[in-house]
Structures are given as C-alpha cells and as structure tokens.
Structure 1
C-alpha cells in the first residue's frame, strides 16, 4: 500500500541512503580528479601504462582487434580535437594573428588537455574491461584494420598540418616565449 506522497510501504529511506551514497562516491571521485589535474606527467604516464597493459593483453589473447580499432579511431578523434583551435578560422574567419601587426591571441584548444587525457583514459579502461567478454571478440583479418587505420591517421594528420600551416598556429607551447605576471620573461635568463 502506498502513502499519500507516493512513497512505497517502506517509506523513502532506502532511496535517500542510496542517493547519499552515490553523492558521497561522486564527491570522492571529483576530489580524486581535482588532485590529479596538476600532475600532467603522472597522468600521461598512467595512460601510457594502461595502453601497454591493454596492448599486452590483446597480444596474448590474439583477439579483440575490432575493440582496438575502435579505440584507435576514438583516440584519433580526441587528438584532432586537441590539435584544433576552439574557433575554426575556416568557418568563422581568421581569429588567430596572420600578420605581424595583428593582435596576439593565445591558442585555445577545442579539447583541453585534461579532457583529452580523461576521455582517453576512460576509453582505455572500457576497452580493457571489454576484453574480458568473449562476445566482443569478433574474428577479423587484423592487418586490413591496421592498414586502414594507418591510412586514416596519415591522411587526417596531413590535412591537420596543412590547416596549421595555412592559419599559422602551433598547438604546443614548447619553445614559445612565456611571460610571468610581473611582466618579465619566465624560464631561461639571457646572460
């Protein structure tokens, strides 16, 4: 028999305790993510370790090539988002400086580094878990998948590099001048 407020015969305490537990787990998860945000090198090394573990597992099982191909396509898509500016100059006009007298505007990625890492890490974990279920081990001739992925990678990167050259942007900050808040250069001093 239901109460007037629509709760079941046992009241609402079961669903509130579950929601409190889910909220607490969510807060701990968010806390963990916030703690890992500044540790860029450690995060990427963890992803690399997960990729190696996944690769060894697929090699030993001699299967799950479709899953690996899907992970490769997904990570290629993430890489493109990471290398592409947030505002595409082809669609909305050149917002990046194309001449020396143009105003400097920093490169803003369509996909920030943390979201790139986070999405890739989640995908790798999902791919690793999927390898425990034989239903996802579809028999395919893997050299064709590898060849198709390599062609797709090279064509996509060629197009992306042409786009970077045409609109004169570099999506990496390696070798670029950086300035501190005080107005002076940060990093190496010119002695």
Structure 2
C-alpha cells in the first residue's frame, strides 16, 4: 500500500530530489559537522583565489554574499517567531531553540552556493565588467552590519540565544555532601 499514513502530513523540510548515491554520502557527513565546515572553507579559499587571480566576477561574488547573508539570518532565526506568540501565563517554561534553517541545510546551501559561484567563474558571460568592486564590498559590509544589528536586537528583545555558548551544562560535577565527595550525574 502506497501512501498509508502520509495523507495530510506536511513535511518538515522541503523535499529535494537528490540522487541516491549522493544522498548516501550526504547522510554519512551529517554526524561530522567540523569536517564538513573545514572542507567548505577550503573550497571557499579556492573560490576566493580564483576570483582574485582572474580579477573578475565581482557581481557574482556579491550576489553569492547576499545569498549567504540571507541564509545566515534564517540560521539565526527561531522557527517560531516570538513576537507573534501570545503569553497568557508565566513564561518560565523551557522552550528549546529550534532554528528556522537547520545547521545541515545551512551548510548544504552554503556549499552548493559556493559550487555554483565557482562554476559561474568559468563562463565569461557571467563576468559583468564592473570595475568598482570596492563599492560592492562596502555595500555588502554595510548591509551585513545593518542586518546583523537588527537580528541581534531581535535576539536581545525576545531573549533567545541561537548557540550553546554560555548555556548551563549538567553532568559529571562533584559536590561535597555529608563530609564526603558524591558524584552527581543528571
């Protein structure tokens, strides 16, 4: 029976038609985020060296930067917008931070954007002869500062932290109880 139990169920992420062998290797990289990001940044350095060596494709790089900035905002945004939630009672209950864009999808989009931008540098039709790359860089930096200021302001206003830095950790601490050392494991 096909489709049993799937009627009316909305997928949590958009379905991507990825070939099975490629999906297999993607699934193998999921538990290794550090190695995934190291590989992506090595590829980013190759892309930057390519753009620097051919002295072109600044507009492609600019639009790539805008795409990455939009993905970063989605990565830092909670799935449920706290400004739209109504609070009837005390807000002391624990609400875990769930991202609008999960880390793996963010990494995949980031890497795919690098691949597309890198491939575009091999076709001269995409090299618009815009020689004032400094203007594009300054505009992107100003846009980045504006967007991150708004995002950090939103984080402070609704008191959420998208990272595990500074959060309380439990487990493996030793305390003195009744004159002896007792190990607490929660």
TM range (shorter): 0.7 to 0.9
The structure richer in helix per residue is 1
CA distance in 2 between counterparts of 1:154 and 1:28 reads: 40
The number of residues matched between the two structures is 158
In the alignment, structure 1 segments of 5+ residues that lack a partner are 1-22, 179-184
CA distance in 2 between counterparts of 1:124 and 1:169 reads: 30
CA distance in 1 between counterparts of 2:122 and 2:144 reads: 28
Aligned-residue offset at 1:116: 0.2
In the alignment, structure 2 segments of 5+ residues that lack a partner are 1-16, 176-186
Match of 1:139 among 110, 129, 140: 129
**What is the match of residue 164 of structure 2?**
173
Aligned-residue offset at 1:190: 4.3
TM-score, scaled relative to structure 1: 0.77
Q: What is the RMSD computed on CA atoms of the aligned residues?
A: 2.1
**What is the match of residue 10 of structure 2?**
none
Closer/same/farther in 2, CA of residues 137 and 106 from structure 1, 3 Å limit: same
**What is the match of residue 69 of structure 1?**
62
The structure richer in strand per residue is 2
CA distance in 1 between counterparts of 2:174 and 2:52 reads: 50
1:159 aligns with 2:143: no
1:59 aligns with 2:52: yes
**What is the match of residue 126 of structure 1?**
116
Q: After the TM superposition, which segments of 4 or more aligned residues of structure 1 sit over 6 Å from their partners? A: none
**What is the match of residue 116 of structure 1?**
106
TM-score, scaled relative to structure 2: 0.79
Q: Larger Cα Rg: Structure 1 or Structure 2?
A: 1
